[in-house]
Amino acid sequence: MPARVYLDYHATTPVDPRVLEAMLPFFGPKFGNAASRSHSFGWEAEKAVELARKRVASLAGAEAREIVFTSGATESDNLAIKGVAESRRANGNHVVTMATEHKAVLDPVRRLERSGMEVTVLPPEKDGLLDLTRLRGAIRSDTVLVSVMYANNEIGVVQPIGEIGAICRQAGVWFHCDAVQAFGKIPVDVERDHIDLMSMSAHKMYGPKGVGALYVRRRAPRVALQPQMDGGGHESGLRSGTLNVPGIVGFGEACELCARESEAEAARVGALRDRLKAKIQAELPGASVNGSMEHRLPGNLNLSFEGVDSEALLMSLPDVALSTGSACSSAAVEPSYVLRALGAGDAAAHSSVRFGLGRFTTPEEVDYAAARVVEAVRKLRALTPA
Ligand SMILES: *Cc1c(COP(=O)(O)O)cnc(C)c1O
Give me the residues paired with residue 83 across strands. Answer: none
Same domain, 205 and 253: yes
For residues 64 and 42, what is the distance between their CA atoms, to the nearest angstrom?
19
Q: Which ligand 1 atom lies nearest to the CA of residue 212? A: 7
pLDDT score of 117? 96
Residue 385: half-sphere exposure toward Cβ, Cα within 13 Å: 0
Measure CA of the first residue to CA of the last residue in the chain; give whole Å: 34
Same domain, 77 and 131: yes
pLDDT score of 220? 84
pLDDT score of 1? 66
Best probe residue, ligand 1, of 71, 161, 178 (max atoms within 8 Å of C-beta)? 178
pLDDT score of 330? 56
- Domain end position, chosen among 191, 223, 257: 257
Query: Quick count: other Cβ atoms within 10 Å of Cβ 38?
Result: 7
Same domain, 332 and 221: no
Q: What is the pTM of this model?
A: 0.97
**Residue among 74, 104, 54, 70 nearest 240 (CA):** 70
Does residue 73 have its Cβ closer than 6 Å to ligand 1?
yes
Average predicted confidence (pLDDT) for the chain: 96
Q: Classify 220 as helix, strand or coil.
A: coil
pLDDT score of 344? 86
Reported as type and span, the H/E element at residue 60 is helix 40-60
Query: Which residues have C-beta within 8 Å of that of residue 281, sequence separation ≥ 6?
Result: 287
pLDDT score of 347? 86
For residues 126 and 106, what is the distance between their CA atoms, to the nearest angstrom?
20
Same domain, 205 and 321: no
Per-residue pLDDT band for 27 (boundaries 50, 70, 90) equals: very high
Q: Averaged over 163-169, what is the pLDDT?
A: 98
Position with higher pLDDT, 22 vs 90: 22
CATH number at residue 345: 3.90.1150.10
For residues 36 and 38, what is the distance between their CA atoms, to the nearest angstrom?
6
Residue 93 has pLDDT above 60, yes or no: yes
Q: Averaged over 203-210, what is the pLDDT?
A: 98
Number of domains in the chain: 2
What residues act catalytically? 328
Tens digits of per-residue pLDDT, 312-353?
Answer: 999 999 999 999 876 655 566 788 999 999 998 888 889 999
Q: Which ligand 1 atom lies nearest to the CA of residue 201? A: 7
Distance 277 CA to ligand 1 centre (A): 25
pLDDT score of 58? 98
